Amino acid sequence: MGSRLKVGIIGAGRIGNVHALSIKNLIPEVEIKAVSDVRYEAAKEMSSKHGIPYAYEDYHEILQDPEIDAVLICSSTDTHAQIAIEAAEAKKHIFCEKPVDLTVERVKEVMEAVERNNVKIQIGFNRRFDHNFKKVKELIDNGQLGDVHVVKITSRDPEPPNIDYVKASGGLFLDMTIHDFDMARFLTGSEVKEVYAIADCKIDPLIGQEGDVDTAVITLKFENGIIGVIDNSRKAAYGYDQRVEVFGSKGMVRTENDTPSTAVWSVAEGTITEKPKYFFLERYMDSFAEEMKVFMDVILKDKNPPVSVIDGLKSLEIGLAAKKSHKLGMPVSLE
Amino acid sequence: MGSRLKVGIIGAGRIGNVHALSIKNLIPEVEIKAVSDVRYEAAKEMSSKHGIPYAYEDYHEILQDPEIDAVLICSSTDTHAQIAIEAAEAKKHIFCEKPVDLTVERVKEVMEAVERNNVKIQIGFNRRFDHNFKKVKELIDNGQLGDVHVVKITSRDPEPPNIDYVKASGGLFLDMTIHDFDMARFLTGSEVKEVYAIADCKIDPLIGQEGDVDTAVITLKFENGIIGVIDNSRKAAYGYDQRVEVFGSKGMVRTENDTPSTAVWSVAEGTITEKPKYFFLERYMDSFAEEMKVFMDVILKDKNPPVSVIDGLKSLEIGLAAKKSHKLGMPVSLE
Amino acid sequence: MGSRLKVGIIGAGRIGNVHALSIKNLIPEVEIKAVSDVRYEAAKEMSSKHGIPYAYEDYHEILQDPEIDAVLICSSTDTHAQIAIEAAEAKKHIFCEKPVDLTVERVKEVMEAVERNNVKIQIGFNRRFDHNFKKVKELIDNGQLGDVHVVKITSRDPEPPNIDYVKASGGLFLDMTIHDFDMARFLTGSEVKEVYAIADCKIDPLIGQEGDVDTAVITLKFENGIIGVIDNSRKAAYGYDQRVEVFGSKGMVRTENDTPSTAVWSVAEGTITEKPKYFFLERYMDSFAEEMKVFMDVILKDKNPPVSVIDGLKSLEIGLAAKKSHKLGMPVSLE
Amino acid sequence: MGSRLKVGIIGAGRIGNVHALSIKNLIPEVEIKAVSDVRYEAAKEMSSKHGIPYAYEDYHEILQDPEIDAVLICSSTDTHAQIAIEAAEAKKHIFCEKPVDLTVERVKEVMEAVERNNVKIQIGFNRRFDHNFKKVKELIDNGQLGDVHVVKITSRDPEPPNIDYVKASGGLFLDMTIHDFDMARFLTGSEVKEVYAIADCKIDPLIGQEGDVDTAVITLKFENGIIGVIDNSRKAAYGYDQRVEVFGSKGMVRTENDTPSTAVWSVAEGTITEKPKYFFLERYMDSFAEEMKVFMDVILKDKNPPVSVIDGLKSLEIGLAAKKSHKLGMPVSLE
């Protein structure tokens, strides 16, 4: 490894740019050497915007560069597994956006490639690094809530994605709830043994026509006895709603949404505060930076990644079980 | 009917006294003529405390008094149905504490007796009259939340009841959650078609030894498509936790717990507010008074009771289905 | 003194009725024997509404009734002192609404009459009995805030009084701020040694034409070194605003306004809570009842009244100094 | 001006580093060419940390570099005016930390030098760029509060500065309250015409020995009729307390403190939220970045600086008047 860690970013979309910015601004030990995108223009633009020396159309150019120590896989979901496997073979450390893949088999192939080549892989469950949820985890771990009995997660988007996105997304449970499944596993420190999903299409009939749902309530039984509940909506009229509540034998913790300001104004209509920060980029900006710092630290100090491909696999399995539960109208066991 | 409406109270326990106080203080059109209790001393004491002219051991004395227009059944649960049927036959209007009975058959017998005798009956689901939940209902009915998608109810007691109470209670779902089932029906304006209950004994092993649970998460599918979630605990370390959240196409409403004061103090440890009001008597005092006023109004102005024996029956059926669901580990249909 | 304490109420207006209700509902040891009002019809109406045996036009009939132990003076401000002096001479205990009088001399005459006749007098500074402010006082007295450095009081009405009321009121400082002066003395446990008042007529020009103000910021230096600030407005568009903040060496406490419900709704416009309870009757209902209970206890158990005529005198002196300060544009010393 | 704007930073202390970071991370159009500090080691360290090409002991080397377009004056307060005058003569644009100087004469000399040389100067009143206070200003400017009647500012530090700092600071009013004076001018859009300051040494006797105070309540009369109140403390046990409240004819707005997370935990002791962010660096980080972006924009687009040396002068004059008021125990007029 050279004096500075060198990374390549595969995928010059929104999240690729977010990670580039975090690295440039906050991680002086790391240099972004190259970016690639199937849309070459996007790679060029990102390269010039962030002062990245090389821009490619083909990600193999990044994998073949012996100077590059690690890659960030920020391309479309269907390419994650293939690129991750090739990156592992090329002995690059890997940061891979979620989900790794929509099938368990492919995720397992990634796991094997990573192990075989002895590289590190971290999955982009950024919410674990969010200031609010970290505080919740800290209160649990400190024992301030006692034994945890119930974990409740509310996760609602400000507006539904466009229908093309929906078609390729794997559906609500694999695209949206997967973050909540990971959060539930993170907070409980345990594995799900049963899922029951009630879901419906209440917001956008086009979503229903694709066989997908936009509203769901999912209950989870955990191996350690904790009961979990997640509720999702693709559209909250008041904005991005991201809250958790954990109830235990000694107390409860809840988080509220982040808002652009703390201003509270009282007028003839009532007392008003601002809507939540608009969407995931605004809401979770600090967590994207934090996960990137942690990933670089994992490589530089040879640590275990805090979010592994196992975590990606487990959430995928829960998501697939939730899909099945919704279809059957019955709880579904995981093994 | 005389110049003032005359009522008798059957049962001189805690809730009987609460109703006596409400009537005396807030409903000048009504006179409490008699109170009875199987423990005659209790009836005597309540009689002298509230200036009630007659105290009896046997409730039949109340039923036989032709001057008495209505009775409040505040005795132990197992006596509710029998007294209600006899009161109906005696042509008394009836206010009956919940649950009417722990079996569907007996509740139906009460319904028939009431209809046959053309008297009015109102069931003691006092929470419908609570200032917070009435505001939620108002926001729903005004259309400010749009179409309702999800209703969430959190209901946690400050401490578990003693084990003798548990034995006679019919269990968590019929004793505690029954209030939440009624609240869910009240807020959604719809009937439950499926229940799924996850429950456990996490707080008091004695409760488990009685075959009962103290912690539960229950999901409900309503006929009109709304999804409901209730979570219960017999012991919240921080006190009586009574909140609802309703999410709809135009917005969300949440209620917070009532506290003894609005004081917020900031000290070296953080920013602190008071614990919730202690338990149901403190928290729901205004709703007990309100339901009594409404009941008297129902009689005096010949209105339909806002909480009928049907409401008692429906909540009982949901509770029994929840019990079955928990036993089977499967969702249970109603009908 | 007979078996039950007997009281007469002088003045059948709004506040007289409030006290009658508190006594009837909450203080069974006390009987209201008579009510008087210069408008005889008002006395008659109140008598029949609350079941008070006697109604008079002339309060002397109350003073001359040997059975009556205590009187509540709820008549117009300009009659308080005269009635109080006569009541003292008639050996009646006295509850007197604030202000006792608008001149220091008359208040002192009341004090002398009370002392000479060895009767008890309690002044109607009801806010000391409010659930929020009592909690603040408790936190101060418990030492949880350490040494108090600064006390801040915000007191704003939902709408200005009509102009006839303004004319007779003695002006903002004697009519409205006088409650806040008493609150400041209550919370600091100390006497004011200097007042500086900045004030203006910003809301209603008619108030200005009467030489009065409707907006003020008043600073207070206390003998024990605490600094006080009060801000007043005769009209807050969002409703009755009654808050205090106390800052000390170990922390701070603030109170928020009471609202009709705890509902918080999030819609496209933001997150909204209800406006404060409408005005002093709604906001301070519990404190009116509490002060009445305390007064009756003072008599029945021969205690010292917690709010004495000295308290009325001190607040009057501060109010007069504030008036002078505003006129001079300079701080004014007391003594 | 070259392709990228080039700046030099004079003073390699805490605030110099904050600005360097903001520029590097967020303003790609600007290059930091040099840094100077009387402690050469500090300049060297900052140079290597942020990749700044040149480090000097003597700031004249920066002023003499013809490539450098602008300087940031981040040195100790007593050097601000001298450096600013020399920088203006050298035709550099100037960002100068507050206060420009502790005397009115020197600030006027800076103003003259700036005007004579036709350069731009912006003063470091960063709080105007804070997300909370910007929202307050926006609500005022939008007319949502109607005519403003009262502005209240609370500003309390988490701990007092060390005594050496106090000695050189010019005292509470010029060092700490000066930010609040600027905030009051910013929010009211008006000039102060009278100040009255009540102040005391309640926290640290050493501060008193230096003739300074640590606790103050200051009232302000503005030319447009608004009344202002500021309260300060050098030590709030619960942390950095930075709030404003603005009351107007149509409503009120208040801001709350920023906290590290939104977590609210309810335990046996009560309901608890986190303490405020620790101190000004944590609390105002976003505003430091924002003011830097605005300053660079002022230069690049030839705009008027939003915070001019006049603003520095006005706040200084209010601060000096407050000092005098406290000494005299009387309100002091400005002009």
Assign C168 a pLDDT band (cuts: 50, 70, 90): confident
Question: What are the tokens at B281?
Answer: 């008597």
Q: What is the pLDDT of residue B3?
A: 65
Question: In a 3-state reduction of DSSP, which class is residue D54?
Answer: strand
Question: What are the tokens at B99?
Answer: 């649950």
Distance from CA of C251 to the nearest CA of B (A): 4
Question: What are the tokens at C207?
Answer: 């108030």
Q: How far apart are CA C300 and CA D151, in angstroms?
A: 48
Judged by CB atoms closer than 8 Å, whether chains meet at B267 and C251 is answered as yes
Q: How far apart are CA B250 and CA A270, in angstroms?
A: 18
Q: Cβ contacts of residue B54 below 8 Å, gap of 6+?
A: B33, B34, B35, B47, B61
Nearest residue in B to D266, CA atom: B238
Judged by CB atoms closer than 8 Å, whether chains meet at A150 and B215 is answered as yes
A 216-255: CB under 8 A from C? 236-239, 241
Distance from CA of B270 to the nearest CA of D (A): 5
Kindly state whether B165 is in contact with chain D, defined as any CB-CB distance less than 8 angstroms: no
Judged by CB atoms closer than 8 Å, whether chains meet at A266 and C274 is answered as no
Token pair 């904005």 in the structure block, residue? A239
Q: Cβ contacts of residue D303 below 8 Å, gap of 6+?
A: D297
pLDDT in tens, B9-28: 999 999 999 999 899 878 88
Kindly state whether D303 is in contact with chain A, defined as any CB-CB distance less than 8 angstroms: no
Judged by CB atoms closer than 8 Å, whether chains meet at B252 and C262 is answered as no
CB D57 within 8 A of CB D36: yes
Kindly state whether B203 is in contact with chain A, defined as any CB-CB distance less than 8 angstroms: yes
Kindly state whether D149 is in contact with chain A, defined as any CB-CB distance less than 8 angstroms: no
**Which 8-state DSSP code applies to residue A272?**
E
Q: Which among A132, A267, A268 is the nearest to D263, CB-wise?
A: A132
Q: Which among B256, B262, B274 is the nearest to C264, CB-wise?
A: B256
Which chain D residues have a beta carbon less than 8 Å from that of B273? 270-271
Judged by CB atoms closer than 8 Å, whether chains meet at B217 and A227 is answered as yes
Q: What is the pLDDT of residue D1?
A: 41
- Record the pTM: 0.95
Residue D3 has pLDDT above 80, yes or no: no
Q: What is the pLDDT of residue C28?
A: 80
* Mean local confidence (pLDDT), D161-177: 93
Neighbours of D166 (CB within 10 A): 22
Nearest residue in A to C266, CA atom: A238
Interface size, chain A vs chain D, as Cβ–Cβ contacts under 8 Å: 89
Q: Which among D219, D236, D251 is the nearest to C217, CB-wise?
A: D219
Nearest residue in C to B131, CA atom: C261
Distance from CA of B242 to the nearest CA of D (A): 13
Q: What is the pLDDT of residue A82?
A: 98
Q: What is the pLDDT of residue C335?
A: 78
Distance of CA A333 to the CA centre of its chain: 24
Q: What is the pLDDT of residue C2?
A: 46
Q: Which among C238, C239, C270 is the nearest to A275, CB-wise?
A: C270
Judged by CB atoms closer than 8 Å, whether chains meet at A255 and D264 is answered as yes
Query: In this predicted complex, what is the ipTM?
Result: 0.94
Share of chain D above pLDDT 70, in %: 99
Q: Which among C156, C229, C237 is the nearest to D229, CB-wise?
A: C229
Judged by CB atoms closer than 8 Å, whether chains meet at A267 and D251 is answered as yes
Top residue of D235, D242, D249 to mutate, by most chain C CBs within 10 Å, is: D249
- pLDDT one digit per residue (tens) for chain A, 335 residues: 446 899 999 999 999 999 999 998 888 889 999 999 999 999 999 999 988 999 999 999 999 999 999 999 999 999 999 999 999 999 999 999 999 999 999 999 999 999 999 999 999 999 999 999 999 999 999 999 999 999 999 999 999 999 999 998 899 999 999 999 999 999 999 999 999 999 999 999 999 999 999 999 999 999 999 999 999 999 999 999 999 999 999 999 999 999 999 999 999 999 999 999 999 999 999 999 999 999 999 999 999 999 999 999 999 999 999 999 999 999 999 97
Judged by CB atoms closer than 8 Å, whether chains meet at B269 and D272 is answered as yes
Q: What is the pLDDT of residue B4?
A: 86
D 272-301: CB under 8 A from B? 272-275
Q: Which among B198, B238, B331 is the nearest to A221, CB-wise?
A: B198
Q: What is the pLDDT of residue D230?
A: 98
Nearest residue in C to B255, CA atom: C263
Which chain A residues have a beta carbon less than 8 Å from that of D140? none
Judged by CB atoms closer than 8 Å, whether chains meet at C247 and D231 is answered as yes
pLDDT in tens, D62-100: 999 999 999 999 999 999 999 999 999 999 999 999 999
pLDDT in tens, D215-250: 999 999 999 999 999 999 999 999 999 999 999 999
pLDDT in tens, B230-278: 999 999 999 999 999 999 999 999 999 999 999 999 999 999 999 999 9
Which chain A residues have a beta carbon less than 8 Å from that of C258? none
Top residue of D224, D247, D256, D328 to mutate, by most chain C CBs within 10 Å, is: D247
Q: How far apart are CA D183 and CA A194, in angstroms?
A: 56
Q: How far apart are CA A142 and CA A138, in angstroms?
A: 6
Residues of chain B scoring pLDDT < 70: 1-3
Which chain B residues have a beta carbon less than 8 Å from that of C134? 261
Q: What is the pLDDT of residue B1?
A: 40
Q: How far apart are CA C218 and CA D255, in angstroms?
A: 22
Neighbours of D231 (CB within 10 A): 25
Burial state string for D287-322 with b = 16 or more CB within 10 A and e = fewer than 16 = bbbbbbbbbbebbeeeeebbbbbebbbbbbbbbbbb
The torsion defined by the Cα of D169, D172, D173 and D175, in degrees rounded to 10, comes to 40
Q: How far apart are CA A108 and CA C19, in angstroms?
A: 77
pLDDT in tens, D17-39: 999 989 988 888 899 999 999 99
Beginning with the edge strand found earlier in the chain, give each strand of the sheet holding A54-56 in spatial order.
A54-56, A30-36, A5-10, A70-73, A93-96, A121-123
Nearest by Cα to C286 from C126, C99, C97, C72: C126
Kindly state whether C263 is in contact with chain A, defined as any CB-CB distance less than 8 angstroms: no
Distance from CA of B237 to the nearest CA of A (A): 5
Distance from CA of B107 to the nearest CA of C (A): 34
Kindly state whether C139 is in contact with chain D, defined as any CB-CB distance less than 8 angstroms: no
CB C203 within 8 A of CB C215: yes
| Cα Rg of chain B (Å, integer) | 20
CB A87 within 8 A of CB A94: yes
Nearest residue in C to D240, CA atom: C251
Question: What are the tokens at C77?
Answer: 């401000």
Which chain A residues have a beta carbon less than 8 Å from that of D135? 260-261, 263, 274
Q: What is the pLDDT of residue B2?
A: 46
Q: What is the pLDDT of residue C3?
A: 65
Which chain D residues have a beta carbon less than 8 Å from that of A256? 262, 264
Distance from CA of A327 to the nearest CA of C (A): 32
Q: What is the pLDDT of residue C229?
A: 98
Top residue of B227, B234, B246, B254 to mutate, by most chain A CBs within 10 Å, is: B227
* Mean local confidence (pLDDT), C195-215: 97
Q: Which among D144, D258, D261 is the nearest to A265, CB-wise?
A: D144
Kindly state whether A209 is in contact with chain D, defined as any CB-CB distance less than 8 angstroms: no
Chains touching chain C at 3 or more Cβ pairs under 8 angstroms? A, B, D
Distance from CA of D251 to the nearest CA of A (A): 4
